[in-house]
């Protein structure tokens, strides 16, 4: 339901600039309602019946700047230098109160922002819509249950016409370790715990993880890894986490562990994953992301039977829900309330 807010004359109109790369994941977004700027504007207006939403599409032109085009907020769907240049020009003409990023990840936009001091002045808000977290939790539960019920074994047995049923496994034989305790990691942990799995979380820094076993920092990483038969990566991509899924880390896991990378392709060393699978250190890799997307035909992951590729679909941003989420935050901001999911540029997320 829309927020019930008493309006004053100065808050009747929301001026919003919309930046969207028309070619960004175009096919994937079509099923979710479209990726074009007009669609985003339509959803913004639909999400806010209390205000008149005046939205303009970008990139800016010299003519539009000369005519005094301005905005209070920016909704960003792309992370390009052109987008940043436009945001800077817009901010100089009419200071932006905040920038809202529609996608779940902000690492590309943060990297560009760090290079532009002017943008550092503007609060950046990421999309923390719970629908994304719920989708991610369902995805992980699906593959955790498949491992627990030996689905892979029976698929191979069918292919080789081998009738040799196994004893039913125990969920206690599949302790799950989640790297990353943010919005997504927390939702995944809650879902798995509710379904009987033993779950622990590892975070780079101290933080809250209500009711869950949580380990922190490099010192406790070996202990965390040693008990993770299923390892799930949901870390934000930063300089410190880039390439973290590599040979040295795999060596600390129990033999025949399962690795799921659901964050960014840059987190993983593909050659090390394939080597660990071939040597039996890993029994399966579920990769929602890859180092090259779209995945080229020659990529080694296509031909490896121990790699499942889910093509960046574990949790997709639904434009309508993201717009509603950001409108809620804008309305709260208008009323002077503190809003969640502000990006820390130092940490990178």
Catalytic residue positions? 264, 312
Rg (Cα) of the chain, in Å, rounded? 22
Q: Which residues of 228-260 are buried (b: 16+ CB within 10 A; e: fewer)?
A: bbbbbbbbbbbeebeebbbeebbeebeeebbbb
Rounded CA separation 133/86 (Å): 31
């Amino acid at each position: 339901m829309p927020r019930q807010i008493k309006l004053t004359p100065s808050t009747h109109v929301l001026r919003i600039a919309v930046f969207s790369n028309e070619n960004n994941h175009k096919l994937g977004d079509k099923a979710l309602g479209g990726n074009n700027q007009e669609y985003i504007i339509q959803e913004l207006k639909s999400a806010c019946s209390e205000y008149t939403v005046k939205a303009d599409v970008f990139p800016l032109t010299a003519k539009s700047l000369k005519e005094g085009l301005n905005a209070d907020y920016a909704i960003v769907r792309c992370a390009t230098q052109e987008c940043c240049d436009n945001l800077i020009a817009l901010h100089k003409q009419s200071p932006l109160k905040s920038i809202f990023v529609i996608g779940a990840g902000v690492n590309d936009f943060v990297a560009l922002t760090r290079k532009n001091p002017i943008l550092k002045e503007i609060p950046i808000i990421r999309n923390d819509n719970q629908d994304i977290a719920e989708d991610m939790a369902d995805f992980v539960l699906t593959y955790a249950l498949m491992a627990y019920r030996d689905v892979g074994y029976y698929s191979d047995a069918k292919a080789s016409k081998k009738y040799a049923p196994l004893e039913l496994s125990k969920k206690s034989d599949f302790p799950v370790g989640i790297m990353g305790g943010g919005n997504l990691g927390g939702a995944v942990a809650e879902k798995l715990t509710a379904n009987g799995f033993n779950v622990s979380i590892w975070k780079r820094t101290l933080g809250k993880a209500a009711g869950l076993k949580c380990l922190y920092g490099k010192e406790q990483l070996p202990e965390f890894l040693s008990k993770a038969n299923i390892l799930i990566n949901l870390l934000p991509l930063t300089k410190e986490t880039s390439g973290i899924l590599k040979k040295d880390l795999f060596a600390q896991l129990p033999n025949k562990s399962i690795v799921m990378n659901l964050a960014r392709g840059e987190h993983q060393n593909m050659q090390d994953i394939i080597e660990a699978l071939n040597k039996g250190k890993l029994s399966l890799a579920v990769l929602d992301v890859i180092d090259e997307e779209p995945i080229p035909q020659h990529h080694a992951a296509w031909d490896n039977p121990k790699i499942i590729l889910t093509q960046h679909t574990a949790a997709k941003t639904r434009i309508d829900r993201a717009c509603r989420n950001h409108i809620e935050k804008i309305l709260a901001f208008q009323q002077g309330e503190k809003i969640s999911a502000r990006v820390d540029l130092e940490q990178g997320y």
